Copies of this chain bind each other. A is one copy, B any other.
Amino acid sequence: MQRAKRPGEAGTDDRERVTANYLAVRQWSERLCEPLTVEDYVIQTVVETSPPKWHLAHVSWFFETFLLLPYLADYKVFHPRFDYLFNSYYEQLDSGYWPRAQRGLLSRPGVAEIYDYRRHVDAAMGRLIRECPDAQWGSVSELLLLGLNHEQQHQELLITDIKRNFACNPLRPAYREDISGSELVSPESMTYIPFTGGLTEIGDRGMGFAYDNERPRHRVFLQPFRLADRLVSNAEFREFVEDDGYSHPALWLSDGWQIIVRERWDAPRYWERIDGDWFEMTLGGVRPLNSGEPVTHLSYYEADAFATWAGRRLPTEAEWERAASEVPINGNFADSGLLHPAPAPKGDGLRQLFGDVWEWTCSAYLPYPGYRAPDGALGEYNGKFMANQMVLRGGSCATPDGHVRPSYRNFFYPHERWQFMGLRLAEDA
């Protein structure tokens, strides 16, 4: 008969489950890269994106730096310069790092060497999971979970960066020819779901993994509000475009107006007008715009201007979380294979809260009351970005299933739009 585990002790089963989880996440990264040519791994078409091979190496470097070197006694790094090449932004590390804007300038190390690096790290991680003393298991398993969530974030970036790369290529290549788009539909009418105001709690409930920025859970006071039952669709956004929404300064935040004038934006990022019709670049290539699909690849400025035009507003992150806490975490995530937002399912009630597109909120990305960043370099993971960015909620069609939760806070600068970003309208009750 098996003895009872002591608190903090990891049974063999735990470790096997962790290994399986580790391998599943790691393999998904590589599966996402299967449609790529070697050349596709190399390029960086704008500073916000990274070459696919850089993503594959960086997530491995994360395990090497924060797990293997501190916890696996005789671990030997794969290559002494990889610390410099694949550190993304941890300023406190001595190595420094290769400039972000120049990640696409490196043909070496090559793709094969980076896969070797992954194998090297995977083997060592397998050993660490098996052999780590119980006394360290708590720290190790916690960091490992962080490492896997980190890799999942980069899986989403892999998809959106590849899309960005292909969309700027005049040949408009498809990432996968075999992705079928959703049937062409018109959106159903939008209705608003009322929520009462009052004190509510938001933030991590402590029931599983969560990032530091979701803590501490705390009370906020809400006014009564109403939330649209689905995302804004292409049909609605096209109305805005065709009503000259991009030409009326009164609809725009000042910083947004400046950028659309300077960059000559007149539609969402991947819309293309060809012979008078609207098309959209997708991971399956260029397709006719589907009216019923949620609009995506919008900056915060565009989402906000649309809401102003519509006589509504964006929800706050607390409102969104209040609503999301009551619905199951189902939706069109990356595992569906669509890799594109889909029309709202028919039915009543709140739909599309999870998956499809990240929803811009009108909340700035700031620390929750009582927030403390972790000590050391990992303290740079989330806290140092708490300025100038806006919160997005709910995950997208490029997010791995199981990665998000109601309290999950994503954040981007308001001008960015290469992620699957869209919006849901809100209004005061």
Instruction: State whether the Cβ of A81 lies closer than 8 Å to any Cβ in chain B.
Output: yes
The reply to whether A223 and B370 form a contact with Cβ atoms under 8 Å apart is yes
Nearest residue, chain B, Cβ from A301: B387
Instruction: State whether the Cβ of A262 lies closer than 8 Å to any Cβ in chain B.
Output: no
Q: How far is the CA of A173 from the CA of B81 in the complex (A)?
A: 13
Q: How far is the CA of A43 from the CA of B106 in the complex (A)?
A: 7
Stretch at the interface among A235-243, A250-258, A280-288, A341-349: A250-258
Instruction: State whether the Cβ of A84 lies closer than 8 Å to any Cβ in chain B.
Output: yes
Q: How far is the CA of A38 from the CA of B112 in the complex (A)?
A: 11
The reply to whether B92 and A387 form a contact with Cβ atoms under 8 Å apart is no
Instruction: State whether the Cβ of A384 lies closer than 8 Å to any Cβ in chain B.
Output: yes
Chain B residues, CB < 8 A from A249? 91-92, 380
Instruction: State whether the Cβ of A362 lies closer than 8 Å to any Cβ in chain B.
Output: yes
The reply to whether A84 and B42 form a contact with Cβ atoms under 8 Å apart is no
The reply to whether B85 and A254 form a contact with Cβ atoms under 8 Å apart is no
Chain B residues, CB < 8 A from A166? 108
Q: How far is the CA of A235 from the CA of B21 in the complex (A)?
A: 53
- Taken together, the copies of this chain in the complex come to 4
Chain B residues, CB < 8 A from A72? none
Instruction: State whether the Cβ of A1 lies closer than 8 Å to any Cβ in chain B.
Output: no
Q: A170-B85, A171-B81, A362-B366 are in contact. Are A111 and B39 (CB under 8 A)?
A: yes
The reply to whether A169 and B107 form a contact with Cβ atoms under 8 Å apart is yes
A168-201 vs B: 1/0 string, CB under 8 Å?
1111010000000000000000000000000100
The reply to whether A387 and B220 form a contact with Cβ atoms under 8 Å apart is no
The reply to whether B42 and A43 form a contact with Cβ atoms under 8 Å apart is yes
Chain B residues, CB < 8 A from A385? 253-254
The reply to whether B250 and A91 form a contact with Cβ atoms under 8 Å apart is yes
The reply to whether A105 and B39 form a contact with Cβ atoms under 8 Å apart is no
Chain B residues, CB < 8 A from A253? 384-387
The reply to whether B388 and A169 form a contact with Cβ atoms under 8 Å apart is no
Chain B residues, CB < 8 A from A105? 43-45, 104, 165, 168-169
A223-B370, A254-B384, A304-B387 known; 18 new pairs, CB 8 Å cut-off, are A37-B107, A38-B38, A38-B39, A38-B110, A39-B108, A39-B111, A40-B108, A41-B107, A43-B105, A81-B171, A85-B170, A89-B254, A108-B173, A109-B171, A220-B220, A301-B387, A313-B367, A364-B364
